[in-house]
Amino acid sequence: MKKEILKVEHVQKIYGSRGYGRPVLNDISFQVSQGDFIAIMGPSGSGKTTLLNIISSVDQPTHGTVRLAGQDLTTLSPKALSKLRRDSIGFVFQDYSLLDAMPLLDNIVLPLSLNGAKASVAIKKGKRLAKLFGLGEHLNKYPYQLSGGQKQRGATCRALIMGPAIVFADEPTGALDSKSSKDLLACFSQINTQDGTTIVMVTHDAFAASYAREVYVLKDGKIEMHLHKGESQKEFFNRILDMQAAMGSDLQ
């Protein structure tokens, strides 16, 4: 039986003052096990970014509970939350967030370095990840010398360097061209299937979502649909497109 990494129970998020509150999430429940690859989709305003913020410990729900790596996020102190993010969570953002003053290898190993790891250990691990992501020849380059796809793959290596229990990716292909997107998603698929890395990805793109094993579709703050992948990625992609058409939205 797979280990449970994330459990979301009856989560609700309301913005605004009492009596004038605007519900953004309404009774969301699901769970993620070790080795899962989940995509969260939904039209603008559906609550997918709010949900990602809550399950990744950036925000707190108004009601409900979120358990991540065995800990209830709604009861942890700021210090405990900071430790959980450092030890158990990897983040991949649309804008890369690499430091221009550092070469790529230093960017990748930065979390390990800040955590007091030996330089030799950090460099060895960073080079292994970089090779896996096709970046072995670019480690001495600075971010401004890299393509968007290379920067995003580097950012993903940095997210993985601490060996997190789960990786949260927020529109990771949003700023990439089609080839760079495909390269990144292939890397995501590889670390998921070969290394058992657990991934939760928010995306508006049906092609990106088709790399996941399951897709949750939000609408008006609720889970409108839950799709499971079969053996064929192409068939899954077509089912996601059919779902988009049925909802009458491009899920942007």
Domains of the chain, with CATH numbers? 4-247 (3.40.50.300)
What does the block give as tokens for 252? 């942007």
Do residues 61 and 53 lie in contact, with contact meaning Cβ atoms separated by under 8 Å? no
d(CA 149, CA 248): 31
- As beta bridge partners, residue 191 has none
Which position has the token pair 């960073």? Answer: 126
pLDDT in the model for residue 249? 55
pLDDT in the model for residue 97? 87
pLDDT in the model for residue 158? 95
Do residues 161 and 109 lie in contact, with contact meaning Cβ atoms separated by under 8 Å? yes
**Residues 126-134: contacts with CB under 8 Å, at least 24 apart:** 126/157, 126/161, 129/157, 129/160, 129/161, 130/104, 130/105, 130/154, 130/157, 132/157, 132/187, 132/190, 132/191, 133/157, 133/187, 134/183, 134/187
13: helix, coil or strand? Answer: strand
Residues in the chain with pLDDT values less than 50 = none
pLDDT in the model for residue 61? 95
Angle between helix 178-195 and 148-160 (nearest 10): 20
Which position has the token pair 């990625």? Answer: 233
